[in-house]
Amino acid sequence: MSIRARFRLPYPTFTLDVDLDLPGQGITALFGRSGSGKTTLLRCIAGLEKAAGGFVAVNGEIWQDGARRLPVHRRPLGYVFQEARLFPHLDVAANLDFGRRRIAEHQRRVSLERAVELLGIGHLLDRRCDRLSGGERQRVAIARALATSPRLLLMDEPLAALDHARKQEILPYLEQLRDEMEIPVLYVSHAPDEVARLADHIVVVDHGRAVTQGPLAEILARVDRPLRLGDDAGVVFSGMVVERDAEWHLARIVFAGGEVWVRDGGAAVGRRVRLRILARDVSIARSRHDDASIMNLLPATVVSHVTEDHPAVALLQLRVGDTPMLARLTRHSAARLELAPGQQVWAQIKAVALVG
Amino acid sequence: MLNPVDLAAVWLTLKLAGTATAVLLLLGTPLAWWLARTRHWAKGVIGALVTLPLVLPPTVLGFYLLVLMGPDGIFGRLLAAGGLQPLPFTFAGLVVASVIYSMPFVVQPLQQAFEAIGEQPLEAAATLRANPWDTFFAVVLPLARPGFMTAGILGFAHTVGEFGVVLMIGGNIPDKTQVLSMAIYNHVEALEYEAAHRLAAGMLAFSFTVLLLLNALKPERLR
């Protein structure tokens, strides 16, 4: 089960040169700044770019190789564009049905009802497309793509054109899609928070090349900064809700290596959740300080540290049990604390975000 | 109201404009689609040829059509070789001439409508399993509908109003090639101003209605 894509194509500002072997399930983020070639890569996989040569195979089905190239409409894919691209002459229901009615009956694995329910758009069906909000349009576009029962869902920055509130409106639907549908997704994004929340796997694209790839948690915890996230550097890991404190509205989450208290987001005891801790929210102490406001204090081992983009700042890689963690501090502090690999310290965590 | 000859002229004009419009839309649609989408080097040449009747005096166009389609012209000989009679001074000849004469009025609105649709809906349709023909009928045609209405109305109206080309290629044969504009001309020549008035006023009202209709068809944002 894998998605293979190989391209070598010159473009005006970069040369697309990739040879990818991606997991055939879950969400894989194609991450990179604008102009890095990630959208072009997605379009090549879809067949939307006139890419001669190249190779694309999705879970064993060859879509394109040296000898032949399936046209876009013969590829069993779903594509969600940055702008929803709904057909303005059709209402929501007809838009949803556009792709579904064009596939053979025995290939319809996702029912229209399922797609409508998953994206929560049942109340919009007889609405005209120009009477939809930006968030609603994008949800209809996602449902429209799902209704074709795709073997691969390609999403090109589906949230980039939306404001913060609309993004928060759609993200839970995308999480549900990830958790409940067995459709592999390639998700192009330049937003670290989206990637941290949604992706299982990440490919970092720069100048048309895949500079790094791997499981999200592993890549985010690296300090050699292939991601160059700056303020957004931080780790993502999963844990389980084991207790909810009604008085203080906090939830206790256990993860491989310890436990943390977070704001109770409503997740039931026993639920698996994803946590994100930014490097800038972690400070380091040589001894345990119980007289500070910090609630989450975790014993950690220093793994390594490197200098950040600014010479004053260091990024420290820690290990809390089996879970890697990053901390950002000044190089001055690192020197004063005489931090060295193997040393035991306390990680003082100012903020933990539940990201789904 | 109208004498039988005038009535025949009106009927012939409507028949000619209707036939020509149908042929124009059939030929103009693929031509406009090609012009809207191609990057071929010949695009400029073909585009200029299609637009030529806009600037050419109708008599010049009619003259060359007469020469080409006459018994000694290239097309005339081809037709004769095929066992067909030459086109000048026939209804079919009028249709051919009208189609060429009104082509820019059909191709240009269509080309603009196709260009305005752009690549995006076509790509979206392709990712939803629609092949290119399917996309054309399910997405392009409905989205370009205002363009088709404009093209049809302009093509029809322009054919109704033609004079010079018809004069050159069709002559002035009552019931056969004598169209409205010709009938008006005949009445004026014979100093029958009242009869000329009836036809001319009808044309005026018709043209005004057409423009009113076109305006009503424009999408709201352009009004």
Contact A73 B130 (CB under 8 A): yes
Contact A87 B121 (CB under 8 A): yes
Over 60: is that where the pLDDT of B207 sits? yes
B55 touches chain A (CB under 8 A): no
Q: Which of the residues B129, B131, B141 would you substitute to probe the A interface, choosing the one with the greatest number of A C-beta atoms within 10 Å?
A: B129
Contacts of B130 in chain A (CB under 8 A): 73, 98, 102
Over 90: is that where the pLDDT of A6 sits? yes
The nearest CA of chain A is from the CA of B153 a distance in Å of: 22
For B126, nearest residue in chain A (alpha carbons): A73
Contact A46 B124 (CB under 8 A): no
- The verdict on A211 and A186 lying in the same domain is yes
Q: Is residue A244 part of a domain?
A: yes
User: A237, A45 in Cβ contact below 8 A?
Assistant: no
Q: Over the stretch A216-261, which tens digit does the pLDDT of each residue have?
A: 988 888 877 656 777 788 899 989 999 999 999 999 999 998 899 9
Over 60: is that where the pLDDT of B221 sits? no
Mean pLDDT, residues A31-49: 92
Mean pLDDT, residues A116-122: 91
- The verdict on A303 and A214 lying in the same domain is no
Contact A98 B125 (CB under 8 A): yes
Residue A87's pLDDT band (cuts 50, 70, 90): very high
Q: What is the pLDDT of residue A88?
A: 94
A50 touches chain B (CB under 8 A): no
Question: Which among A51-55, A148-152, B3-7, B9-13 has the top mean pLDDT?
Answer: A148-152
Q: Which of the residues A42, A49, A72, A86 would you substitute to probe the B interface, choosing the one with the greatest number of B C-beta atoms within 10 Å?
A: A72
Domain that holds residue A267: 234-354
Q: Over the stretch A100-113, which tens digit does the pLDDT of each residue have?
A: 999 988 888 888 88
Q: Is residue A201 part of a domain?
A: yes
The percentage of residues in chain A with a pLDDT greater than 70, rounded to a whole number, is 99
Rounded CA separation A128/A95 (Å): 10
Mean pLDDT, residues B6-28: 90
Over 60: is that where the pLDDT of B222 sits? no
Q: What is the CA radius of gyration of chain B?
A: 20
Q: Is residue A314 part of a domain?
A: yes
The percentage of residues in chain B with a pLDDT greater than 90, rounded to a whole number, is 40
For A74, nearest residue in chain B (alpha carbons): B129
Residue A137's pLDDT band (cuts 50, 70, 90): very high
Q: Count CB neighbours of B30 within 10 A.
A: 11
Domain stop point among A193, A220, A247: A220
Q: Is residue A115 part of a domain?
A: yes
Residue B45 in 3-state DSSP? helix
Q: Which of the residues A89, A152, A153 would you substitute to probe the B interface, choosing the one with the greatest number of B C-beta atoms within 10 Å?
A: A89
The nearest CA of chain A is from the CA of B141 a distance in Å of: 10
Contact A99 B128 (CB under 8 A): yes
Strand partners, A245: A250
Q: What is the pLDDT of residue B1?
A: 66
**Out of B129, B139, B143, whose CB is closest to A73?**
B129
For A87, nearest residue in chain B (alpha carbons): B121
- Closest-CA residue to B36 (of B113, B128, B111, B147): B111
Q: Find the CATH number of the domain harbouring A245.
A: 2.40.50.100
B72 touches chain A (CB under 8 A): no
What single string gives the DSSP state of each residue in B126-193?
HHTT--HHHHIIIIIHHHTHHHHHHHHHHHHHHHHT--HHHHHHHTT-TTTT--HHHHHHHHHHTT-H
Over 70: is that where the pLDDT of B105 sits? yes
A185-189/A27-31 β-pairing? parallel
Mean pLDDT, residues A44-58: 90
Domain stop point among A178, A197, A220: A220
Q: Find the CATH number of the domain harbouring A180.
A: 3.40.50.300
Listed by number, the residues of chain A in 119-148 with a beta carbon closer than 8 Å to a beta carbon of chain B are: 144-145, 148
A248 touches chain B (CB under 8 A): no
Q: What is the pLDDT of residue B118?
A: 93
The percentage of residues in chain B with a pLDDT greater than 70, rounded to a whole number, is 97
The fold adopted by the segment(s) B4-218 is MetI-like fold (1.10.3720)
Q: What is the pLDDT of residue B219?
A: 60
Maximal CA-CA distance, chain B: 67
Of A239-243, A258-262, B76-80, B109-113, give the lowest mean pLDDT range: B76-80
Mean pLDDT, residues B49-72: 88
Q: What is the pLDDT of residue A77?
A: 95
Of A116-130, B94-108, B159-173, give the lowest mean pLDDT range: B159-173
What single string gives the DSSP state of each residue in A243-278?
EEETTTTEEEEEETTEEEEEE--SPPTT-EEEEEEE
Over 80: is that where the pLDDT of A338 sits? yes
- The verdict on A34 and A102 lying in the same domain is yes
The nearest CA of chain B is from the CA of A73 a distance in Å of: 4
**Out of A77, A83, A87, whose CB is closest to B127?**
A77
- The verdict on A166 and A252 lying in the same domain is no
The nearest CA of chain B is from the CA of A324 a distance in Å of: 40
Number of domains in chain A: 2
**Out of B123, B132, B139, whose CB is closest to A87?**
B139
Q: Over the stretch A12-24, which tens digit does the pLDDT of each residue have?
A: 999 999 999 999 9
Over 60: is that where the pLDDT of B220 sits? no
Mean pLDDT, residues A52-72: 90
Mean pLDDT, residues B43-66: 90
Write down the mean pLDDT value for chain A.
90
Rounded CA separation A223/A241 (Å): 29
The length of chain B, given as a count of residues: 223
- The verdict on A216 and A251 lying in the same domain is no
Q: What is the pLDDT of residue B223?
A: 41
Over 80: is that where the pLDDT of B2 sits? no
Residue B166's pLDDT band (cuts 50, 70, 90): confident
Contact A77 B121 (CB under 8 A): no
Of A290 and B46, more confident:
B46
B124 touches chain A (CB under 8 A): yes
Domain stop point among A190, A220, A250: A220
Tell me the whole-structure pTM to 2 decimals: 0.85
Q: What is the pLDDT of residue A223?
A: 73
